[in-house]
Amino acid sequence: MSGTRPKVLLADDYAPLLLSWRRILDQSCDIVGALSDGRDVIAAVLAEAPDVVVLDIAMPEMNGLAACKAIKAARPGVGVVLASAFDDAAFQQAAEAAGAAAFVVKSSAADDLEAAVWQAFRGGTPFRVYSRRGSG
């Protein structure tokens, strides 16, 4: 894996945020898709074989936590980064329990999303929280 760019699938139901995430990751990652529904993510993971999926926790049809569990069941090697607008310990614990590699608070995504994706891509690193408070 060293020297290769991670293939990343993005999922959030707020289109401007997807565009922002794409801009943040475009220089170091290959974006293989951007979706707005958690249920569509599962099919895209099977079709696109991403290395990492960045998911919003709160999405229609299937939330990010349920999608993370389904992704890890179908493709255990895929790294998952869960994101939320809320810097909430309960969400962070739920993300870790679902099998995510990292949790990113959306307000810190400009600074931390790329690091979280690379952590998930490399694997083997304990779950980490990326937030402006610096927890994790």
| Residue 81, in any domain of the structure | yes
Total domains in the fold of the chain? 1
The encoded tokens of residue 43 equal: 């099919």
SS3 73: helix
Work out the burial of residue 86: count CB atoms within 10 Å of its CB; fewer than 13 is exposed, 13-18 middle, 19 or more buried. middle
Regarding pTM above 0.95, the answer is no
Query: CA–CA separation, 51 vs 73, rounded Å?
Result: 15
| Residue 69, in any domain of the structure | yes
- Tens of pLDDT, residues 106-133: 999 999 999 999 999 998 678 999 987 6
Q: For residue 14, what is the domain's CATH number?
A: 3.40.50.2300
| Residue 136, in any domain of the structure | no
- From the list 50, 99, 49, 109, the residue with the least C-alpha distance to 70 is 99
Residue ranges, the chain, pLDDT below 50:
1-2, 135-136
